[in-house]
Structure formats: structure tokens, C-alpha cells
Amino acid sequence: MQIKTFEAVSFKDAIKAVKLEFGNDAVILSTREKPTDGRPNVKLVEVTAAAATVTRNIAGASATTNLGAGAQVNQGRMDSSFERIEKKLVSLESRLPTARRIENLEGSVHDLKLLLLEVLRQNNSGIEQGLPAAAAEIIRMLRHSGIEETLLAKLVASLTKLPPPKADATTTPDTYYRDQSIRWMLKQISISPRWETVPGGQSVHCLVGPPGAGKSTLLCKLAGQFSLRENRKVLIVSYDAVRLAASEQLRVYAKVLNIRFAAIQEPEDLAGVLAKNNDCDLVLVDTTGRPVKQVKILEDLNILKSKTPGIEFHLVLSAAEKAGILDSAVRMYSNLGVRSLAFNKLDESWQFTDAFNIAAKWAVPMSFFGTGPEVPDDVERASRERVVEQIFGLSR
Ligand SMILES: Nc1nc2c(ncn2[C@@H]2O[C@H](COP(=O)(O)OP(=O)(O)O)[C@@H](O)[C@H]2O)c(=O)[nH]1
Ligand SMILES: [Mg+2]
């Protein structure tokens, strides 16, 4: 008799393997669960089976089965054995960890891994190793708040070159290195120039960026601020290439504030609209887009750029997004020649760390901060001090 042991992750799979090798008439001799090496919560199933040569009396009720060396097994007894085994299999299978439980376990292992990495990073005796204790502590604090490692390495290099703090009553090593770090961080970011009136001309600013970043909201805030507070003659243009009816919100808003409004669907049409409204000195262009159409949108924006001399693009980002998403948005729009970064939804976390990372890494000036959904009040001009003070916990 040929006997073999099969291992699988479930009884179903084990039986499948048995049938594949020994055919449908294989005899199951034993079944058991056994732990997996190194994964105590995940069990394997072991099924020992024998190959059977079956001869059946098709016409009669008393079919017999020939097991190798002539052992005769009554078909009725075999059927009931199978039934018992099947029941046992079902009950054992119900006790196996479900796919969801395994998933949960894997999730926990992943979380633990992250936690461990975080602990290791916090105890990192790497790049700041050679620094005085007070300076190293600042690096650890900045790392903890989310400042990117590449930027930290540059700061470490800069702090390393500093002369030691003078021993006087007013400066402790803590304040000395903190002030130097703040100074260094302020130098890494810049603020874009104000959108001043061009004598005898129009300045055209186009807001681009991922859907939902808050472009239209920011545009309304800016249009409101420039026309109400600075008395500028503003023209709002909605460039809604994919006909999302997004221009309606702007049309209504423009009407309420008595601001000139135009909608275009083709990038070539902007030049005509500008000529027709040449008494407006500040033109704010809103754009729309769906993620799947990004390539087409970029092509259109490039046409808009080539057909509209002097147009400036400003990339609007949501500070509530993950750093990776912000990074790929900057990468995507950088070919257009982005003049500034505006960060919205700062009110959702009051975290300026990602804004700092992105602006410093890509060396693009910051222009505006959206600090809430209210139009036109929840906007402020970007400020380097605001960013750095928040990171150092000196302000909200
Ligand atoms: N909390 C908060 N919500 C904002 C801010 N800016 C925009 N939003 C909201 O974000 C959503 C998307 O804004 P919208 O301007 O339509 O994004 P767009 O697709 O880039 O034009 C809307 O519900 C806005 O009210 C902000 O600074 N703070
Ligand atoms: Mg919009």
C-alpha cells in the first residue's frame, strides 16, 4: 500500500493534493494540525492518506475496494469513515485562523515594525553623534516633528561648523543651538513676492494642483481680499476643461462680490478674455482636473503658458495630505515652472513641517496659507517665521 503525508494551509487544500496524487478513492488515514515554524499562530494541516485500487460491482449494492495488497474494505464502512473524517475536517477547519485574523496579525506585526523603527530613530546615534548634546537634542526634536532626514543632515553639517557657545549668563548651549538652528531653517525657505499691480498691465496668476487641494476656495479668498481690501480690479477666470461645472461656484461668488468673471474651456481662449478685460489689473485663473486626466491637464496648462505671456503658476497643496502625495504633486507640476506653493487646510493640523520639507527640498517660495474654509477671511500671506516658530513649538 502506498502511504503518504500531505501538508497544506487548509484541509481543503490538503484533500485536493491527496486527490491529485492518489485519485478520488484515496483513503484518509489520519489528520492533524501542526504549528508552522516561527509562526505560532498559523497552523498547517497534515493529512496522511493511502492510495486505493478500487473495483466496484457496478450492478450490485456491495461494492468493494481493493487496497493494494488485497485488503478488502467494505464500501459502506468506508463511506461512513469518510463522513466522520469530513465532519472532523469541517470542525477543525472552523478552528483554523481565518484570513482576516491573519491579516490583523500581519497588520500588528507591521505596526510593531514601525514602532521599532521609530524607537531606533529616536535613539539614533547617527548623524548628530558628533554634535554637542544641546545641538543633538535639537536634531532629535526636529526629527520627531517630521523634518526630513536629508534636511537634518544639512543642518547637522551647519551646526558642526559653528564655534562653541560663549559662556555667559544669557546664552546657554540650548538657546545658542536653538537660535542657530532657527536661523538656518529660516534660510531654507523663502516667500514669493506680493502680487503687485503692474503699471499699465495685467498680472495673471493661475492656481494649479491636485483636485480637492482647495484651489477654488483659495481663489475666492484671494479675489475677495484683493478686491475688497486692496481695491484691485480683479478678473476671475475659470478654466474648466473637463466641464465639471466647477465654474458655477466661482460665477456665483464673483457675482456676489461684483467681481468680473469669465469661463473658458480651451487654453487658447485665455488671451482673448484678457484682451477683452484689459481694464482688470489682477487676473486669477482657477483650474480643475481629475486625477486620471492629469497628463492631458498638464498638456493644456503648457499650452495656456505658451499662449499667455507672463502668466504665473502657483501650486496649491493641502497640508492635510501625506508627505509623499505632496512630493509627487510638486514633481508633477514642476515642469510648468511653479512660482510659489500655497498650503491650504493648515487649520486641520497646524502642522507646518511638511510645508517646510517641501518648500526647502524643492526650493520653491511659499505664497499663501489657507487656514480654514471661510471665504474670504481664512487666508494669510505665508511667513517663514510662522513656519519655523510652529516647528519649534514657539507658537500654535
Ligand atoms: N478646513 C479647511 N478646508 C478647506 C480649506 N481650503 C479649502 N477647504 C475645503 O476643501 C474642499 C475642497 O476645496 P476646493 O476649493 O473645492 O478644492 P479644489 O478642487 O482644489 O478647487 C472644500 O470643502 C473646501 O471648503 C482650508 O484652508 N481649511
Ligand atoms: Mg475647484
Average pLDDT over residues 129-140: 93
Percent of the chain with pLDDT over 70: 83
pLDDT of 62 > 80? The answer is no
Q: Name the more confident of 308 and 288.
A: 308
Question: Facing residues of 5 across strands?
Answer: 48
Residue span(s) of the chain under CATH 3.40.50.300 come to 203-391
Q: Considering only 48-62, 142-156, 347-361, 371-385, which range has the smallest mean pLDDT?
A: 48-62
Distance 322 CA to ligand 2 centre (A): 20
To test the pocket of ligand 1, the residue of 314, 344, 351, 367 to mutate (highest count of ligand atoms within 8 Å of its CB) is 344
What class does CATH assign to 203-391? alpha beta
Residue 318 one-letter amino acid? S
Would you tell me the crossing angle of helices 133-145 and 149-160 to the nearest 10 degrees? Answer: 160
pLDDT interval class at 297 (50, 70, 90): confident
Query: What is the pLDDT at residue 9?
Result: 83
Q: 78: Cβ–Cβ under 8 A, 6 or more apart, which residues?
A: 27, 65
**Is a pLDDT exceeding 60 seen at residue 64?**
no
Q: Which atom of ligand 1 is nearest to the CA of 348?
A: 1
What is the spatial distance between Cα 392 and Cα 298, in angstroms, rounded to a whole number? 37
Cα–ligand 2 centroid distance for 265 (angstroms)? 14
Q: pLDDT confidence of 63, banded at 50, 70, 90?
A: very low
CB atoms within 10 A of CB 12: 12
Angle value at C-alpha 378, between 254 and 366, nearest 5 degrees = 100
Which ligand has an atom closest to residue 376 CA?
1
Structure confidence at residue 291 as a pLDDT band (50, 70, 90): low
Using CA atoms, how far apart are residues 99 and 153, in angstroms rounded to an integer? 43
Q: For ligand 2, an ion, list residues with CB under 5 A.
A: 215-216, 246
Which pLDDT value is given to residue 181? 98
Are the CB atoms for 262 and 237 separated by under 8 Å? Answer: yes
CA of 212 to the centre of ligand 1 (A): 6
Spatial separation of the C-alpha atoms in residues 334 and 22, rounded to whole Å:
64
Task: Pick the most confident of 31-35, 95-99, 278-282, 293-297.
Answer: 278-282
Count other C-beta atoms under 10 Å from residue 316's C-beta.
27
Distance in Å, CA 352 to ligand 1 centroid: 18
Question: Rounded to two decimals, what is the model's pTM?
Answer: 0.70
DSSP-based three-state secondary structure for 123: coil
* Residue with CA at minimum distance from ligand 1 atom 19: 212
Strands (E), 51-95: 53-55, 64-67, 71-74
What is the C-alpha separation between 288 and 293, in angstroms, rounded?
A: 10
Kindly list the protein residues whose Cβ atom lies closer than 6 A to any atom of ligand 1. Answer: 211-217, 344-345, 347-348, 370-373, 378
Q: Per-residue confidence at 248, pLDDT binned at 50, 70, 90?
A: confident
> For residue 209, which atom of ligand 1 is closest to its CA?
20
Mean pLDDT confidence for 57-67: 40
| Closest-approaching ligand to the CA atom of 344 | 1
Residue 314 Cα distances to 38, 249, 295, 309, 385, angstroms: 53, 20, 18, 15, 21
Ligand 1: which of 206, 215, 216, 217 to mutate, judged by most atoms within 8 Å of the beta carbon?
217
Return d(Cα 324, Cα 357) in angstroms, integer: 11
Atom 17 of ligand 1, residue of closest alpha carbon: 214
Q: Which atom of ligand 1 is closest in space to residue 379's alpha carbon?
A: 27
What is the overall mean pLDDT for the chain? 85
pLDDT at 96 over 70: no
Q: Which atom of ligand 1 is nearest to the CA of 219?
A: 15
Please state the rounded mean pLDDT for residues 312-317. 97
Please tell me the distance between residue 211's alpha carbon and the centre of ligand 1 in angstroms.
9
Residue 244: pLDDT band with limits 50, 70, 90: low
Strand 366-370, strand 282-287: pairing: unpaired
Residue 28 contacts residue 85 (beta carbons within 8 Å): yes
CA distance 229 to 240: 28
Q: Which atom of ligand 1 is nearest to the CA of 217?
A: 15
β-strand pairing of 338-344 with 312-318: parallel
Peptide bond into 376 cis (omega under 30): yes
Give residue 253 CA to ligand 2 midpoint distance, Å: 13
pLDDT in the model for residue 383: 97
Q: Find the 366 Cα to ligand 2 centroid distance in Å.
A: 20
Name which residue leads in pLDDT, 55 or 252: 252
Query: Rounded distance, CA 190 to CA 327, Å?
Result: 18
